[in-house]
Amino acid sequence: MIVQKFGGTSVGGAAPIRRLAEIVARALPRRPVVVVSAVGGVTNELFRLGAQALAKTDWKAAHAALAARHRTILTELALDPALLDPLLDELAGLLRGIELIGEATPRTQDQLASFGERLSVRIVAAHLAKTGLPARAFDAWDAGLVTDSRFGGARPLPEAPARIRAALEGFQGVPVITGYVAKDAHGHVTTLGRGGSDWSAAIFGAALGAEEIQIWTDVDGVMTADPRIVPHAKQREKLSFAEAAELAFFGAKVLHPATMVPAIEKDIPIRVLNSFRPEVPGTTVVARLLAHERGVKSIASKHGIAVVNVVAAPMLLQFGFLERVADVFARHEVVVDVIATSEVSLALTTEPNARLEPVVAELAAFSAVTVLRDMALVSVVGEELSDSQRVQATVLGTLAELGVKVEMLSYGATRNNLSVVLPEARLKETVSALHERLFGR
């Protein structure tokens, strides 16, 4: 059995869905379980609809446009144009409630966001059935996925794998399951966080003992750099879980960071494939690499990050200083990417959309705090970093040649990544130069 997850671009219209059906049909001997995202851009549109309803502006026109987009796909696939009417009516009812109450709680936001996948899964399942495949649409909660009540970033409960097996046991067709969404133990809709459809696929794969988890997207696999920065970036054939996790965490958009966890626990290979070019073998992510497969694999990058510099009050032996700082970030749920420390100071990076104001206000009570904006993070990833000094020397030498001012430098404990923080304005030239030195033109 395999799990095949299809992203937003892979279900973004009639033509991509037809390709999806061909891919699933070819995999039928391997008993595919299909996980789908919302049609590309729909999740953002749903949040905009919620904001319009909250502001009591005209959300009905936007709702009609969203409905028309999905009905167009149904019509082009020769499916019943009324197939989604019950869900679209339910969505309109939720928006009316937001408008009347004038409030949108995190729980409401999760319920709102769930409609993208719920609409998409019904289109895909109906088309698969029309082509002769024995497919059925499942909302994730009907397929056994139960989470905690952390709306916007829910985590599966320990009993979820057993529930998934029980829910799908005996089903002989192709289950087509919503990614990204679930329900908590109280029956409230939850979401796994943006990009969580990959994680959904891994959760189902681990629970069902899949031989492989396939992530179908719109790129050929994991590349040596972001092709938007380096147009001649090369595809990587194989990565270790450790390398893929580092790349996901440090900005590569192909895999969601949390995807790795269930796969690592069950030692299930993950393959990243292009639904627009299914003949390309893609990139396989495995637990362990052979000796000749170790090397530098890719340059990941993030832009728009912030650097927070924290210096303790002017006295030595600040016992517990690091613990106090970490506690502040944890309580405000601000994720830290890279950290560099000394006894009485530390510098760390956070995501572009992190709400730092309350964090800075609390830190200022016992330290001096400065925040640098418009910074970028560049990370060179590969198991070769733990084996030789060649890569470190190349990276530092290239930065010196370019005259780039480095704000932070981190050599991770896994020795699989070397990360530097630099001004965002120098990001593209730095990545391009590093790519040429490490991988050639």
Among 214, 147, 135, CA closest to 176:
135
Continuous segment of H or E residues that includes residue 326: helix 321-331
Work out the percent of the chain whose per-residue pLDDT is above 70: 96
Q: What is the DSSP letter of 9?
A: G
Mean pLDDT of 188-214: 93
What is the predicted pLDDT for the residue at 203? 96
Does residue 74 carry a pLDDT above 70? yes
Quote the CA–CA distance of 232 and 302 in Å, as a whole number: 19
Note the pLDDT tens digit of each residue in 40-63.
Answer: 999 999 999 999 999 999 899 999
Q: Which domains does the chain have, with CATH numbers?
A: 2-218 (3.40.1160.10), 297-439 (3.30.2130.10)
Among 419, 417, 408, CA closest to 386:
417
Quote the CA–CA distance of 110 and 105 in Å, as a whole number: 9
Quote the CA–CA distance of 91 and 112 in Å, as a whole number: 7
What is the predicted pLDDT for the residue at 247? 84
Quote the CA–CA distance of 283 and 221 in Å, as a whole number: 5
Q: Which of 35-44, 131-140, 346-355 has the lowest mean pLDDT?
A: 346-355
CA dist list (Å): 2 to 210, 240, 257: 5, 19, 20
Note the pLDDT tens digit of each residue in 397-426.
Answer: 999 999 999 988 888 666 788 999 999 999
Mean pLDDT of 248-260: 73
**Which strands, in side-by-side order, build the sheet including 270-274?**
135-138, 174-178, 32-36, 2-6, 212-217, 270-274, 283-286, 238-240
Q: Are 192 and 227 in contact (CB under 8 A)?
A: no
Confidence of residue 319 (pLDDT cuts 50, 70, 90): low
What is the predicted pLDDT for the residue at 21? 98
Write out the two tokens for 255. 């895999």
Residue 353's CB is within 10 A of a number of other CB atoms, namely: 7
State pTM to two decimals: 0.84
Pairing of strands 174-178, 367-382: unpaired
Quote the CA–CA distance of 48 and 64 in Å, as a whole number: 13
418 DSSP β-pair partners: 380, 411
Mean pLDDT of 129-155: 97
